[in-house]
Amino acid sequence: MPEERAQDSEFKVVDRRTFSVDGTRREDAPAQQEAAEKPRPRATASAPTAADTGREPAEYLDGEGSGFETLVSYLSTTAMFQLGVLPGPGGERIPPDLPNARRTIDMLDVVQEKTQGNLSEVESRLLEDVLYELRLTYVEMEKRGAPTKR
């Protein structure tokens, strides 16, 4: 049996966590800021056509991307604030609010469940990546015994 496992496998494990066990940002972790700055291809099949609704597809978009991408971005940013990872508007530290962060992450999970099979590959990957990162951050904050708002 062990001889069979010695063969090279195509299975590869990649640690995509942003933070180390002690809570510091890993140097080799891809920065979320860089990913946010990269333009994402827009899926044309997800927007209704003018023939379907009488409205132009551009009316459904805010210029920054699809409404779905904006929704995911809004909810993930809210969760990051609630986890205490992002600083406040004035740069001040925001205390973690783990119960509400959990609710926000759960909302994103519901969005993933309810939209399964209806998203473009780019939208699906975006949602998977955001949920992965938020769940890991939540678990790390919970393990540290982060104080919560009451």
Phi, psi of 25 (to 5 degrees): -70, 130
Measured CA to CA, the distance from residue 139 to residue 15 in angstroms comes to 15
Q: Tell me the three state secondary structure of residue 25.
A: strand
- Predicted confidence at residue 88, as pLDDT, reads 82
pLDDT at 27 over 50: yes
Tell me the sheet residues that pair with 25.
19
Check if the beta carbon of residue 56 is closer than 8 Å to that of residue 50.
yes
Sorting pLDDT into bands at 50, 70 and 90, what band is 104? very high
* Residue 36: count of CB within 10 angstroms of its CB: 10
Sorting pLDDT into bands at 50, 70 and 90, what band is 145? confident
| Mean pLDDT score, 33-41 | 47
Residue with tokens 């104080």: 147
Check if the beta carbon of residue 78 is closer than 8 Å to that of residue 104.
yes
Looking at mean pLDDT, say which of 18-32, 54-68, 98-112 comes out highest.
98-112
